[in-house]
Structure 1
């Protein structure tokens, strides 16, 4: 027997985008159903490092960090190689402060700010993301929200005019129909676990380590595609460089190269500018022997470790046996199977270029995206971290308007259908800036919830009139 639910707004997917949209809409008085295909909530968000990118925040001011919306825009466009949709970027910047305040009002604590991939100022704000997501969901339940876990969305429902009015969900083999008066929101994530879609759009990325939420197989993309949705950025899929080959389900990503490390291949040679976005590095490392890039650094960089903070926690990585230490570069090379003679030459050339103030062999001039002075690798002990590209997120998908409306292949709006978070394309362009994934999930999650509440209010007023 087919079960039916009725609601004002159906949100499919419980990562930061879906959870933010669902909670905000529920607090506005809407009856909200949050559907999640997996048994546990949070999707890829709870497997992430917990970084949100915002500019002009209290934390930045307290640290004396100079940043602005204009600099933020420039960085996003440059890291995206100007392939981003400017309207989506502007929408993010217009709403970032409201989103930042909303998160803090809902209990989010930003415990550290840092500079990372694609940034020219410290605008990555770190949070204890699992705690954040658990708290947001508790608040959603308290606001009257309904959660349907282990309910996989399989098909969008439309009326005679083609408007999306709900979805069919599969719950252990039984169909459940959810009818939504004010729209359906796809927050289903990407397809980092979708081998068939990777084979179609980015076959080279099958060589990266699979990661991301186990449910990230592209369900939302397929459902929207079936209705004629347009796509954006499908040619820019890339893994993230910096994860040990034996990385499991625990988020392990080290960016020692933004602190002063270099990256070499098994031949002991550098092959790319380490200050670039780690998505760009993720593409470059796939062309190296065994798809491996070894981060090489010394005691000065090791001292920059920050326990408990993702991307910088070398203690945790050492505890897992993934960080190698040696008194000399020759000994280090032997530990990780790198050509020792060539590694010594590479480090010598790197140090000489720094001393001379000249461009090095790969054109590197800074630690990260034009910021930070390079450091010679000369203080024992020396360290090596073998790392590959990790397929965490795909950062492409359905094309959307700044209001998160899904756009069809003819440029029209698919009425009643919205998409937020990683299932969307057009925002990042060619590469990704740290913190803008969770950031855009929250920003556009709030936007779509506010629009749904406004639509409901207008329809109520119209009915009264």
Structure 2
């Protein structure tokens, strides 16, 4: 949570001395900030990055590393998958809504292959031409492609041609060097490229407020460095890229109350400061209630069983993207969930490779019959029995008419039977933030761009309006971060 109330904008004529100065000033050195810095520098601007911590990276450097790209990237083609811009658009608009910014998704999809080449060819981000096709939050080794949004599962696969779009930068010794995973292997080349282009950086700089001239144009930032207020001038534009508000409980209580005290895949610096600073000069917001929600169980297990809620009823197809499972659990089922699985399926799942062994929970209850398990779980008599009976009746034919689970994962549940207590085991990060244009201009509540102010990453409302796909944050952070830098440089 932020340490102080948001500071109102500072009139430029009250600035006594500019401690630093650049054409483009970027607040935050995570993926959006790094992409903005490179984009601005490649456009000929003198760039200065202000980072709150002691080094670059942010949440991105600690992420699994998925970047959502498609439309026929070299990795997709090398792995034998056909994809089109239209299929990518259709999936994103269906899966990331409701209320997606379709113009933003359109430019994102149309520019996706170019963005891949920018990352790989211009910035040096490495990708391995190999595909991981098993259930999981991410590949257990260094494969470069995976289904990361439920594209190949119901309901999307029935109407939209599926293609995997989760691209992961190649890493070495993943399990032994987790701190240098896919996210690090995205950030290191980006920040190296920024340095090569002459981008300057100042650390331990916590941005406090925007500096605005008499015409309402953003001309700089006030930051606190080593306990002292310093003013930084931006001759062309300011780019905000300081992350989400997952660690600001006051903002969560106002906008996304179910996420209070549930931060995950986030860092404490994500306190919403940039959002509040821009709000103070009239910036509009969008989708502040939206969040990515992780379900803290290994998909190798729950894909092979069934997921039931607090009433013992199934509520989703278990082979879908686990982030959809998390959202359905928290938002639609009061965070009440159990994995019901038989011994053979559990042992099979536990024997498969995984990137998340810490999420491979032992059963909470084990019984010889469904009736006994139901009683031990404290469910209403007959509730789980009827759920399993209906599931098994259709599973004998290899089908799931209720939720459309793929035949390869539909098998009758036998005995002994177990349940894993997953109640309350969800967490995530916010997806809403500043409303921006396709060129990453921050928009005023009137709909007009705020002169001199740009933003990207999780402090903005990006391509996700409600739903999520792994890679959407690093994807739209880097894509619209680059556009923010280019726009600011040309401003």
- TM-score class, shorter: 0.7 to 0.9
Report deviation, 1:32: 1.3
Quick one: structure 1 residues 171 and 383, their matched pair in 2 at CA, closer, same or farther if it must change by over 3 Å? farther
CA contact (8 A) 1:54 1:124 kept: yes
SS at match of 1:93: helix
| Corresponding position: 1:23 with 2:58 | no
- Cα distance 1:418–1:288, how it changes in 2: closer, same or farther (>3 A)? closer
Q: 1:294 to 1:50 in 2, by over 3 A?
A: farther
Q: Is the aligned partner of 1:36 residue 2:61?
A: no
Give the deviation of 1:10 after TM superposition.
0.8
RMSD: 3.3
Alignment equivalent of 1:399, drawn from 435, 438, 443: 435
Structure 2: segments with no counterpart, 5+ residues: 1-15, 128-142, 152-161, 170-181
Instruction: From 266, 273, 287, give the equivalent of 1:212.
Output: 266
Q: Which moved more, 1:264-273 or 1:55-64?
A: 264-273
Deviations 1:281-310 (A, max 9, x none): 3343236898342334515861784444xx
**CA–CA distance in 1 between the matches of 2:331 and 2:479?**
36
Q: What is the aligned partner in structure 1 of residue 210 from structure 2?
A: 156
The one-character-per-residue Cα deviations of 1:230-255 (angstroms, maximum 9, x if unpaired) are 111123x23413126xxxxxxxxx33
**Equivalent in the alignment of 2:393:** 352
Q: Would you say 1:417 and 2:453 are equivalent positions?
A: yes
Residues 155, 391 of structure 1: CA spacing in aligned structure 2 closer, same or farther, 3 A cutoff?
A: farther
**Residue 473 (structure 2) pairs with residue 437 (structure 1):** yes
Contact residue 340 and residue 419 of structure 2 kept, 8 A: yes
SS at match of 2:59: helix
> Equivalent of 2:88, from 61, 67, 72?
72
Aligned ranges for residues 328-343 of structure 1 at < 5 Å?
338=377
Judge conservation of contact 1:241–1:285 (CA < 8 Å) in 2: no
Instruction: Return the offset for 1:366.
Output: 2.9
Match of 1:63 among 68, 74, 79: 79
User: Partners of 1:142 and 1:381 in 2: how far apart?
Assistant: 60
Identify the match of residue 284 of structure 1 among 328, 333, 339. 328
Unaligned runs of 5+ in 1: 245-253, 456-465
The CA deviation at 1:60 is: 1.3
Normalising by structure 2, we get a TM-score of 0.78
CA distance in 1, matches of 2:416, 2:34: 45
C-alpha separation between the residues in 2 aligned to 1:441 and 1:176?
Answer: 27
Q: Give yes or no for the alignment of 1:376 onto 2:376.
A: no
Instruction: Give me the whole-angstrom Cα distance separating, in 2, the residues matched to 1:140 and 1:72.
Output: 30
- Report the CA distance between 1:258 and its aligned residue: 8.1
Please identify, of 372-381 and 189-198, the stretch whose mean Cα deviation from structure 2 is larger.
372-381
Q: Could you say if the C-alpha distance between residues 62 and 224 of structure 1 is closer, same or farther in structure 2, counting changes exceeding 3 Å?
A: same
Query: What residue number does 1:85 align with?
Result: 101
> Aligned in 2, Cα 1:214/1:344: closer, same or farther, shift over 3 Å?
same
Task: Work out the CA distance in 1 between the residues paired with 2:255 and 2:364.
Answer: 39
CA deviation after TM superposition for structure 1 residue 398, in Å? 1.0
Shift of 1:83: 0.9
Moved more, 183-192 or 255-264: 255-264
**Matching residue within 116, 125, 134 for 1:108:** 125
1:9 & 1:258 partners in 2: Cα distance? 48
Contact persistence 1:326–1:381 (CA under 8 A): no
Are 1:22 and 1:145, in contact at CA under 8 Å, matched by a contact in 2?
yes
How many Å separate the matches in 1 of 2:416 and 2:33?
Answer: 46
Specify the SS of the correspondent of 2:242. coil
Do the aligned partners of 1:118 and 1:432 also contact (CA within 8 Å) in 2? no
What's the counterpart of residue 165 of structure 2? Answer: 123
C-alpha distance 161-205 of structure 1, shift in aligned 2 (>3 A): same
Q: For the structure 1 residues 154 and 325, does the alpha-carbon distance in structure 2 shift closer, same or farther, using more than 3 Å as the test?
A: same
Pair 257,160 (structure 1): closer, same or farther in 2 beyond 3 Å: farther
SS in 2 for 1:43: coil
Q: TM-score, normalised by structure 1?
A: 0.82
Q: Where do residues 220-239 of structure 1 align in structure 2 (5 Å cutoff)?
A: 220-235=274-289, 237-239=290-292
* Residues 380 and 151 (structure 1), Cα distance of their counterparts in 2 relative to 1, 3 Å cut: farther
Q: Which residue of 2 aligns with 1:54?
A: 69
- Please report how far the alpha carbon of residue 343 of structure 1 lies from its aligned counterpart in structure 2 after TM superposition: 5.2
